[in-house]
Structure 1
């Protein structure tokens, strides 16, 4: 099993990190409001709904008689009873519903109905990383091939390069590429001829052509959003589906994450959630950049990066002067006109870390931060004060695959 979220441990089995509580059956992981909650292991949704104590919650059944529970989600679950889910698949987002004093995930493991002893894996005050293995023995659970920590880089000559780990081999995947995006094991590109293409699985998998005459593409699981060269945006669910839906015109920016789609149309930032044909909600009247992840939305409006979390009509919180904003899990990143890159972790009003100068591109995924600076695509993990690792030289764009 892997960690469903990242953050700080504020409660463990039978102890709330300061007070004994024999009725506390799991671990509390905080400092991650709005982060997408991933399934710890492949399974079937046994419950998805509301309880008075757990608020919005999900229970998964797994092989070997195991169950995992995910409590206090900010809104209704992203999955339904009976649905098969993969490891890391989004179940919902960290919130504070039910019997909760602040945003956190209460995570439990049970086997054959009995509470599983998770104490060896969690220590009060420690931090855990989303997607990292849970350091416990799980008898009768076969291993799962989780998505790798991919870094995708478009070089200045249009070559698409990739690494499966920071110290791994550089793989050259394609030439004549202008844009790249990634989500778990899916990589989407725009070629110089306007073709939007996707590959699923390993780096040697074949490319599938999605669309022609495109200038940008984003992927959210098995959902694809494409921006055409004529400014019209289209979306579909399913790699091989032909049911493209026209969602906006005069569009300059597109994004999609965790069941939400966002566009900037005629300068207006709009977001919809759920099905592709859902109604749009205007979130900003004059935006130049847009980023979605979990329960958070980021825009740049009037030269200022702003972020909101929770419902679409939540209030904006000003972040910093910037031209590019990225929201991902519990981190927010901003790049300003001078190439300074700043990242904060935790609440919207948290403090910034100045992580790079001379940056021309920026991305964040999980506990990783990537920039293009000095001609290099550089990545640091797991902490904001960690050292940069130079990944690929002669870089123009960098994208990190979300877990």
Structure 2
């Protein structure tokens, strides 16, 4: 039973029955089973992040055969880019680090339901259904970009939200206006 999948650059990852398999390169490449007992994962072109059943977050950098590095204990979610790693811990705090896999963590925000890293943007959806986004440094201020949000996605210069069953997208600056793109929707991907 397929639970989730992710695509980043020339990597495709699938999570099924607790095991994570990655295909790198052409679509005809073989699947490589990289981890077992996985509950959640994230891909970038050079990193793979996973949460294992006990809540430990691991990241591997480089090749699919690289060793895993334990980066956080008691995590429930992970997101990776080539330059950043973010985790949501079991107390709903969002932490991130930039650069080296061994750099120190920075607490970014509390009360976080989900988070997405995309380029130099970080999006955090609170349990109060408010979407906050910051752009640039980990230490820049958060911008409240939308309320009553049930889910969101970010890609390059776009941010998309579902709010009250409507899908809306903004492009460019964080303060840009929203454009409603569809109604009666339950999921959105950019």
TM-score bucket of the superposed structures, by smaller chain: over 0.9
In 2: Cα distance, 1:283 partner to 1:371 partner: 30
Equivalence for 1:306 = 95
Equivalence for 1:355 = 145
**The 10-residue stretch of structure 1 (357-366 or 338-347) with the greater mean CA deviation from structure 2:** 357-366
Equivalence for 2:79 = 291
Shift of 1:346: 1.0
Equivalence for 1:38 = none
Q: Which string of whole-angstrom CA distances, capped at 9 and with x for unpartnered residues, describes residues 285-307 of structure 1?
A: 11111111230111101211111
Equivalence for 1:248 = 35
Write out aligned runs for 1:1-400 (5 A): 213-228=1-16, 230-237=17-24, 238-241=26-29, 243-266=30-53, 267-301=55-89, 302-321=91-110, 322-400=112-190
In 2: Cα distance, 1:259 partner to 1:397 partner: 27
In 1: Cα distance, 2:136 partner to 2:8 partner: 23
Shift of 1:396: 2.0
CA contact (8 A) 1:362 1:371 kept: yes
Shift of 1:221: 1.8
CA contact (8 A) 1:236 1:276 kept: no
CA contact (8 A) 2:11 2:45 kept: no
**TM-score, length basis structure 1:** 0.45
In 1: Cα distance, 2:84 partner to 2:136 partner: 12
Shift of 1:215: 1.4
SS in 1 for 2:187: strand
Please identify the structure whose Cα radius of gyration is greater.
1
Shift of 1:395: 2.0
Q: Which string of whole-angstrom CA distances, capped at 9 and with x for unpartnered residues, describes residues 154-190 of structure 1?
A: xxxxxxxxxxxxxxxxxxxxxxxxxxxxxxxxxxxxx
CA contact (8 A) 1:235 1:244 kept: yes
**Residues matched between the structures, number:** 186
Which blocks of at least 5 consecutive residues in structure 1 are unaligned? 1-212
Equivalence for 1:194 = none
In 1: Cα distance, 2:134 partner to 2:155 partner: 13
In 2: Cα distance, 1:257 partner to 1:269 partner: 16
Shift of 1:337: 1.0
Shift of 1:275: 0.9
Which protein, 1 or 2, shows the higher relative CO under an 8 Å CA cutoff with sep ≥ 6? Answer: 1
In 2: Cα distance, 1:361 partner to 1:259 partner: 27
Which blocks of at least 5 consecutive residues in structure 2 are unaligned? none
Shift of 1:281: 0.9
